[in-house]
Amino acid sequence: MVVVAAVGALALSRAASSDVSDLSQLQQQGSYALHVIGTQIRHAGSVDPVRDDATGLYAFVKSPVGVGSANAMVFGADGKGTQPDSVSVAFAPASIGTSDLGPSAQYDCAGTRVDEADRVVATFEVAAQGQLRCAGESQKQPVIANVADLQIDYRVETEGGIQTMDADEVEGRKLWGAVTAIEVCLDLQGDEIGADLDDLYKACGNADKPRDGRVHLVFRNVFSLRTH
């Protein structure tokens, strides 16, 4: 009886330790992912002012660079069925000049050199293996793993006020240029599988889904665009 009790206590202790470890890892991954996503979104549509040598004044002489079907600073796609969504943003690289060490290099989120490019593009998507990736102009770079879902909604300025839409609706109404903010929901799941397979959690979209024995953390944030 003592051995049985000890084994049971050990199993419970191991399960609790695994849950705590998963929660800590997911918290770090989710915070980092939202930081990376938010940094790119806040740059959407930005261009550098150019100084007029004659007057000494600065002006925005370039048009904001775009992406997607409407050549807007924001573009997205809804996942098919229950698949994760994706979102893209575009902006012009900064004119940061040179130093004694030479030109100041700039890179996109995938590690591609962009200081001589006309635009910087960042596309966030989820690969089949649950890996959140950021795709630049020529390559893709993993951001975090353990992604169960990524859902994106858009706050759009319309004649009737601000409305929240998914990508299909924004695309159907050709309103990408009127997007004022992006709502991001990121669902992360742990590695360990426990015994409580039927427990539910509140997933993206506020739907109740089974945990399948895994720890889940759902992160939500709204990122406002600086220009539109």
Q: What would the pLDDT profile of 188-204 be if each residue is shown by its tens digit?
A: 999 888 767 678 999 99
**pLDDT(3) > 80:** no
Confidence of residue 92 (pLDDT cuts 50, 70, 90): confident
Percent of the chain with pLDDT over 90: 52
**Does residue 210 register a pLDDT over 60?**
yes
The 10 Å CB-count burial string (b at 16+, else e) for 126-155 is beeeeebbbbbeeebeebbebbbbbbbbbb
Which parts of 11-67 are beta strand (E)? Answer: 50-51, 58-59
pLDDT in tens, 21-42: 789 999 999 999 999 999 999 9
Q: How far apart are CA 177 and CA 227, in angstroms?
A: 10
Tell me, what's the pLDDT at 138? Answer: 84
Q: Is the pLDDT of residue 62 over 80?
A: no
Query: Is the pLDDT assigned to residue 4 strictly greater than 50?
Result: no
Structure tokens at 212: 């399948």
Furthest C-alpha separation in the chain: 91
Amino acid at 164: T
pLDDT at residue 19, rounded to an integer: 59
